[in-house]
């Protein structure tokens, strides 16, 4: 791949944003040229791209159906750039683009024309991460996501989607980055390794069981019969806390919260606050039910925790009346995770 930037590029770790146009090979030559030109214009208008290019800290590699951008400062650079590109793509609905980000080793090489070029595992893995996604996805390698977890501004937008089987059977862990306005919140239709398929089936049973317990409680306490007194039927499902020793088990907590939210949203008489609105309450800090209820405009709060020890999982759930912090209902749900 010819590089657009010449010179002595002594890179060791590159923060790579890989971009391509979905369905590019099925387009006519004229359509390909038109869309590539539009994509180039959108990318060049991104502020992060222009700043890095002005500082001489960016390498752009054309790939035929897209490009790879290699930043040199931090993993936040390609992430910011990806979001800026996503914003620019809003005015180009004909451009169906996916993106993948990874930080890894890159090295300077010379192409057949003796021009400076960049290669290495960092670029290859970024492409494999991207290949796990569909149009609109901004996927990160687990490595990049763990780096971003150190910055509070990113934590709310990182959504673990598990493992993907990439080229030559390589298994990579990926995270979906999206906000309320940018990115694709839908799970990617990726190819999963068999171990991941078994794990997801196992987790689905856990999530479904916990959801049924919660739905029964909500039906009993928040949705009384018509003869009962009128009550405010509104609820917020706060982020579940991961009480396990291993941080990677946080996907259990996120998965149960998502499953409960999805099922509660199907109840027509119940006002359910969106996941994005409650994610600011994620963390281990002390929660004030009155303040949260007032801020979200709900009468009830559902909070809980997940603790995993070996193959045993306990889900603890509490239903709270927001205006006086009264615990309406609480339950523990235990399950063995076995194949």
Listed by start position, the domains of the chain span 13-177, 194-336
Which of 45-49, 63-67, 150-154 has the largest mean confidence?
Answer: 45-49
Q: Between β-strands 300-309 and 241-242, what pairing exists: parallel, antiparallel or unpaired?
A: parallel
Specify the pLDDT at position 13.
87
Mean pLDDT estimate for the chain? 81
Specify the pLDDT at position 201.
52
- Are both 13-177 and 194-336 of the same fold? no
Q: How confident is the model at residue 246 (pLDDT cuts 50, 70, 90)?
A: low
How far is residue 221's CA from residue 326's CA, in Å, rounded to a whole number?
13
Q: Are 306 and 243 in contact (CB under 8 A)?
A: yes
Question: Which DSSP state fits 247?
Answer: G
Q: Determine the CATH number of domain 194-336.
A: 3.40.50.10610
H or E, element range at 330: strand 326-336
Structure tokens at 179: 């906000």
Specify the pLDDT at position 222.
55
247 or 98, which is more confident: 98
- What pLDDT, in 10s, does the model give residues 52-74? 999 988 999 999 899 999 998 89
pLDDT above 90 for 245: no
Specify the pLDDT at position 133.
92
Which DSSP string do the residues of 14-58 spell out, in sequence order?
EEEEEEEETTGGGS-HHHHHHHHHHHHHHHHH-HHHHHHHHTT-E
For the ranges 98-107, 136-145, 218-227, 271-280, the lowest mean pLDDT is seen at 218-227
Instruction: State mean pLDDT over 171-186.
Output: 90
Specify the pLDDT at position 9.
47
Q: Are 138 and 183 in contact (CB under 8 A)?
A: yes
Question: Which DSSP state fits 337?
Answer: -
Structure tokens at 339: 């194949």
Specify the pLDDT at position 7.
46
- What pLDDT, in 10s, does the model give residues 75-84? 999 999 999 9
Q: Are 317 and 301 in contact (CB under 8 A)?
A: no
Instruction: State mean pLDDT over 160-186.
Output: 85
Q: How confident is the model at residue 187 (pLDDT cuts 50, 70, 90)?
A: confident
User: Percentage of the chain surpassing pLDDT 70?
Assistant: 76
pLDDT above 70 for 213: no
Helix ranges, 222-249 (H): none
18 or 197, which is more confident: 18
Q: How confident is the model at residue 117 (pLDDT cuts 50, 70, 90)?
A: low
Topology of 13-177 in CATH?
A: Alpha-Beta Plaits (3.30.70)
Which of 176-185, 199-208, 264-273, 276-285 has the largest mean confidence?
Answer: 176-185
């Amino acid at each position: 791949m010819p590089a657009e930037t010449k010179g002595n590029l002594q890179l060791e770790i590159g923060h790579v944003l890989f971009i391509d146009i979905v369905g590019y090979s099925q387009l006519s030559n004229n359509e390909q040229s038109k869309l590539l030109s539009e994509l180039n214009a959108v990318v060049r208008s991104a502020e992060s791209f222009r700043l890095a290019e002005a500082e001489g800290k960016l390498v752009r590699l054309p790939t035929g159906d897209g490009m790879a951008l290699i930043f040199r400062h931090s993993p936040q650079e390609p992430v910011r750039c990806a979001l800026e590109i996503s914003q620019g793509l809003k005015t180009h609905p004909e451009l169906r683009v996916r993106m993948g980000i990874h930080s890894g080793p890159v090295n300077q090489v010379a192409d057949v024309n003796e021009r400076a070029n960049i290669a290495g595992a960092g670029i290859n893995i970024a492409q494999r991460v991207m290949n796990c996604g569909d149009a609109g996805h901004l996927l990160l390698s687990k490595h990049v996501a763990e780096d971003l977890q150190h910055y509070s501004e990113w934590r709310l937008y990182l959504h673990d989607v598990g493992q993907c089987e990439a080229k030559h059977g390589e298994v990579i862990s990926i995270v979906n980055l999206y906000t309320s306005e940018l990115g694709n919140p839908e799970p990617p239709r990726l190819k999963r390794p068999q171990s991941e398929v078994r794990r997801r089936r196992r987790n689905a049973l856990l999530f479904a069981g916990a959801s049924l317990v919660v739905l029964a409680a909500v039906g009993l306490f928040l949705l009384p019969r018509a003869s009962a007194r009128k009550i405010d039927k509104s609820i917020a499902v706060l982020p579940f806390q991961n009480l396990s020793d291993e941080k990677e088990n946080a996907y259990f907590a996120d998965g149960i919260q998502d499953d409960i939210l999805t099922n509660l949203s199907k109840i027509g008489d119940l006002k359910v606050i969106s996941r994005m609105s409650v994610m600011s309450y994620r963390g281990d800090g002390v929660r004030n039910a009155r303040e949260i209820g007032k801020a979200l405009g709900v009468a009830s709060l559902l909070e809980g925790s997940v603790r995993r020890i070996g193959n045993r999982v306990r889900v603890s759930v509490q239903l709270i009346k927001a205006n006086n912090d009264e615990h309406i209902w609480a339950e523990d749900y235990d399950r063995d995770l076995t194949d």
